[in-house]
Amino acid sequence: MNRFIIISGCSGGGKSTLLAELGLRGYAVVEEPGRRIVREESERKGSALPWADSAAFLRRAIEMSLADRVLARSLGGWVFFDRGLIDAAAGLQELTSQPVLAPLRNSHRYHPRVFLAPPWPEIYQNDPERRHDLDSALAEYSRLLEVYPSLGYDVVLLPKVAVAERADFVLKALEK
């Protein structure tokens, strides 16, 4: 759907902070599936965690992303997604070599303009839901830089500026 906007990119690049700002401005925001899964799996002592069973984690992220899209249809205006379906599918394809990205060329489309947060080592931090190191985050970012254009999306790199300026940048880019 053209009003579904992806904010993706490098882990620790300020995506969640940007989405929080967009939420404060009244826009609908969908939290990153990965963080929700880590919290749920940790609470129930499950194993679908990126550091325990990456394939199960990514399959669950795909399922959650599809459910998020269904729920988001009832929301008005722009809906901003913190990562989502394509990120999870790209990770699963990288891990298993299964062609899970190919069907996404023609189905479950988002707005044609995708915003990617570039690596920003100065603000990168681990937390209980983000245990991987910066090198892993950089590898993921490189993969996403290739995946989104290969699926026909126009990638726009987010500037490394204060969060309010980043939000203004995104909103102005969507007006074009």
pTM, 2 dp? 0.88
- Tokens read off for 38: 């880590």
Q: What's the pLDDT score for residue 130?
A: 47
The mean per-residue pLDDT over the stretch 77-96 comes to 94
Is 138 exposed, middle or buried, given 0-12, 13-18 or 19+ CB atoms closer than 10 A? middle
Per the structure, the count of domains in the chain is: 1
Average pLDDT, the chain: 88
Instruction: Tell me the average pLDDT across 147-165.
Output: 96
More confident residue, 176 or 108: 108
CATH of the domain at 78: 3.40.50.300
Instruction: Supply the range of the domain harboring residue 164.
Output: 4-175
pLDDT band at 71 (very low <50, low <70, confident <90, very high): very high
Provide the pLDDT for residue 87. 94
Q: Report, as an integer, the average pLDDT of 97-108.
A: 91
Q: Measuring CA to CA, how many Å separate 40 from each of 10, 48, 102, 128, 169?
A: 23, 9, 29, 12, 33
Output the pLDDT for position 155: 97
Span 56-77, average pLDDT: 94
Rounded CA gap, 48 and 28, in Å?
27
pLDDT digits (tens, 9 = 90+) for 8-44: 987 778 888 999 999 999 999 999 898 899 888 888 9
Give the percent of the chain with pLDDT over 70: 90
Residue range 111-121: average pLDDT? 87
